[in-house]
Amino acid sequence: MRPLEGIRILDFTHVLAGPFCTRLLADMGADVVKVNSAKRAAANNAPSSPYYAIWNRNKRALALDMSHDRANDVARSLANQADVVIDNFSLGVLDRWGIGYEEVSASNDQVIYVQMSGMGGGGPWSDFVTYAPTIHALAGLTYMTGVPDGGPIGLGFSYNDHQAGLHGAVAILSAIEARRQTGKGQQVDLAQFEVGTAMIGVSLLDYFVNGREAHPCGNRVPYDKFAPHGCFLCRPDGDDILEERWLAIVCRDEGEWNALCSVMGDPEWCRADSFSTAELRCENAEALDRYVNEWTSEMDANELMYTLQEAGVPAGVVQTGIDLAETDPQLKSHEFIRFMDEPHPGLGETFADRLPIYFEKTPCDTYKRSRMLGEDNVSVLADWLGMSEEEVRTGEEAGYLT
């Protein structure tokens, strides 16, 4: 038995942040019913999309066309049976469908509603249309991800969506615990923008405490005296630029610095006055990086990582997706990447990155493929509402369960 079995979640989320949140809960045993419709099942919201398949495993699929009044009635009945209702639409969509928190909580006072909008409720930007790159930009993440005088680069992937999903899962678990103590549900407003702003916390702290304004700093850290601190080019695997290999190396104190010098063979430049203290190494970081890079450029990245780790120097290969999926020994030993329990009807054999949480007593090792549109109409509506298969098929023919 998984930890969250018995918890019912009615999931109106789409794209990444919301689906990732509910995927975590589904992995831990919650009965997550993913609501979609033929009209909305396009692009990344289409069950045949690999993107959709990744974020919607372990959930059941219900097709509801909310433009039909009868679909609204069904959704209202489902919400009355739910422990959690979650969406990441723009504000007010569920209210317009007649299944908002105020309406449903009047008949289901234990329900927990989670709204994961971009900007949250209220405020001058609450109606903004947001997406990961715009959230990153507004929250300061894009500005901080770059090199000095190089212009903002950005993160290149939906980092804040993942963080918002984690926050959403924690919010739901916290609200369930609060309900256990009070007997009442509640509404939760989660602003993805504020999640992103919180993720630059060290930079904010440096400003509040020391009055230093944060600037893009590449691989350097302005609030610690660590040097070397960066990624260093190693011997490539071939002539193609895609076969370059890099190694991240950090020296946080004199012990690690001396260990690095020893592994390098104690070259004369290591004992220069300009590198004699952590502060001086930081002041002369560019020269230091050039020396270290000359040494690493002839070395195999993986072999050097093990050598440095054995000497007590933090080092890690800059791994590619292929490294992670095919050769990483740590992930392999934990079976972190595995195939789904059954092939996907449209995509064939698909993989899962396992839940990175290991429960001793209640293991979460079930990984069911994402479901096709309306594939679970009968089982969901029977389990939650007691509807017969004949009633469900009638609804499908009428067009509101599709």
Q: Which residues of the chain fall below pLDDT 70?
A: none
Residue 218 has a pLDDT of 86
Q: What is the predicted pLDDT for the residue at 176?
A: 98
In degrees and rounded to multiples of 5, residue 60 shows phi and psi of -100, 150
Whole-model pTM: value is: 0.92
- The SS3 assignment for 382 reads helix
**Amino acid 213: pLDDT:** 85
Active site residue 161: yes
User: What pLDDT is recorded for position 53?
Assistant: 95
The CB-based long-range contact list for 265-268 (8 Å cut-off, 24+ gap) reads 267/291, 267/295
* pLDDT of the residue at 131: 85
CA distance 99 to 65: 14
- Give Rg (Cα) of the chain: 26
pLDDT score at 151? 81
Q: Is 242 exposed, middle or buried (0-12, 13-18, 19+ CB in 10 A)?
A: exposed
Query: What is the reported pLDDT for 303?
Result: 97
Mind listing the domains of the chain with CATH numbers? Answer: 8-198+336-398 (3.40.50.10540), 229-322 (3.30.1540.10)
| Residue 207: per-residue pLDDT | 84
The sign of the torsion formed by the CA atoms of 221, 224, 227, 232 equals: negative
Residue of 11, 65, 161, 289 marked active site: 161
Amino acid 282 reads: C
CA dihedral 7, 8, 11, 15 (to 10 degrees): 30
180 HSE (CA, 13 A, CB side) = 7
